[in-house]
Amino acid sequence: MNYNNLVYETDGPVATCTFNRPKALNALNTETMDELAHVISDFKSDNSLKVLILTGSGDRAFIAGADIKGMVGRPPLSARWLSEHGTKILRELETIGKPSIAAVNGFALGGGCEVAMACSIRLASTNALFGQPEINLGIIPGYGGTQRLARLVGAGRALEILMTGDPVNAEEAHRIGLVNKVCEPDALMDEARTLAGKLASKSKPAIELILQAVHGGLEGGLDEGLTLETEKFGLVYSTEDSQEGLSAFIEKRPADFQDR
Ligand code: CAA
């Protein structure tokens, strides 16, 4: 498929999706969201692909938010659809069963911060700027920001970010747990590819069960989460990779995972 707003590339087990509307600081219009949905579906169905990296083109922005030009003048039901559509796509990304890495190379505002938060891991360049500035537009986040931000950084900090609309720089984002690592801009993609390579070297079914246990567990109480983990722990023992990994340790050799 030819994309107008994204560049989608694969290199071995690693796929990279680059948001590519630099003139609009990679803002997410409906076409871009539809293209993202297509990328996610392609990545999901290709068994040779194990990790997806998301980043932004140019040196200024990851994504500066949902495209405000497409948000003006919508009646409430149409605004509801916009939110529902984007939320569904990002939830699919989060629950796809394969890890995703946001390589945040500049503005990650509004929907951009929400895309990053739907990824499994966030890396940020020193010039990255996070935030949910919707309050300054008189609206609220619509792609999961109120939910994922509170889960990542706690309700107190999330409420401050959401209600002030103030941006958070990379260092502060790292301090509060919004990003996993901060790197120099020139090193960001190398860091992302190295991390992707590391994740791709692990047992694919074991990674999938971790993602299911973490995301499934976040939905319920602690007891439900612990039960879920126990179920996944039993299930991972049905894979050949679990026997290989355990035996390799005892035999003092590297594990040779076959993803089954
Ligand atoms: N939507 C549409 N266009 C955008 C955009 C957005 N979110 N962000 C930037 N742009 C466009 C600007 O309109 C401008 O286009 P023109 O040259 O055609 O005028 C171009 O990108 C460059 O932007 P600026 O001239 O504003 O650049 P700057 O360096 O002065 O400021 C910025 C950069 C601080 C990121 C500023 O552009 C900005 O505040 N953008 C909006 C950020 C925002 O509010 N995001 C949340 C959107 S709502 C949302 O995301 C809801 C949701 O949860 C789904």
> What is the band of 1 on the pLDDT scale with cuts at 50, 70, 90?
confident
Residue 164 scores a pLDDT above 90: yes
Tell me which residue of 76, 63, 116 sits closest to 94, measured CA to CA.
Answer: 116
pLDDT value at position 223? 87
9-20 confidence digits (pLDDT tens): 999 999 999 999
Instruction: Give the type of residue at 22.
Output: P
72-129 confidence digits (pLDDT tens): 999 999 999 999 999 999 999 999 999 999 999 999 999 999 999 999 999 999 999 9
Tokens of 59: 């040196």
- Do residues 55 and 105 make contact, with C-beta atoms less than 8 angstroms apart? yes
- Give me the mean pLDDT over the 201-230 stretch: 91
CA of 131 to the centre of ligand 1 (A): 12
> What is the band of 155 on the pLDDT scale with cuts at 50, 70, 90?
very high
CA of 25 to the centre of ligand 1 (A): 7
Task: Tell me, rounded to whole angstroms, the distance of Cα 182 from its chain centroid.
Answer: 16
Q: Which protein residue's CA is at the shortest distance from atom 15 of ligand 1?
A: 24
pLDDT value at position 229? 86
CA of 53 to the centre of ligand 1 (A): 23
Residue 252 scores a pLDDT above 90: yes
Strand 6-11 relative to strand 14-19, pairing:
antiparallel
Tell me, yes or no, if 84 is annotated catalytic: no
Question: How far is the C-alpha of 226 from the C-alpha of 230, rounded, in Å?
Answer: 6
| Average pLDDT over all residues of the chain | 96
**Which atom number of ligand 1 is nearest to the Cα of residue 83?**
54
pLDDT value at position 220? 86
pLDDT value at position 221? 86
- Do residues 118 and 144 make contact, with C-beta atoms less than 8 angstroms apart? yes
Q: Which protein residue's CA is at the shortest distance from atom 35 of ligand 1?
A: 64
Residue 228 scores a pLDDT above 90: no
- Do residues 19 and 5 make contact, with C-beta atoms less than 8 angstroms apart? yes
Tell me, yes or no, if 114 is annotated catalytic: yes
Percent above pLDDT 70 for the chain: 100
For 161-193, b/e burial (b = at least 16 CB within 10 A) is bbeeeebbbbeebbebebbeebbeeeebbebbb
Instruction: Give the type of residue at 128.
Output: A
Residue 58 scores a pLDDT above 90: yes
- Do residues 43 and 52 make contact, with C-beta atoms less than 8 angstroms apart? yes
Pocket mutation for ligand 1, best pick of 29, 68, 161 (most atoms within 8 Å of C-beta): 68
pLDDT value at position 76? 92
CA of 42 to the centre of ligand 1 (A): 29
DSSP-derived 3-state class of residue 238: coil
- Give me the mean pLDDT over the 153-159 stretch: 97
Q: Which protein residue's CA is at the shortest distance from atom 22 of ligand 1?
A: 24
Tokens of 160: 């401050």
With tokens 């747990």, the residue in question is: 177
pTM of the entire predicted model: 0.96
Percent above pLDDT 90 for the chain: 91
Q: What is the dihedral of CA 109, 112, 117, 119, to 10 degrees?
A: -150
Question: How far is the C-alpha of 257 from the C-alpha of 245, rounded, in Å?
Answer: 7
pLDDT value at position 77? 93
- Do residues 6 and 20 make contact, with C-beta atoms less than 8 angstroms apart? yes
pLDDT value at position 110? 97
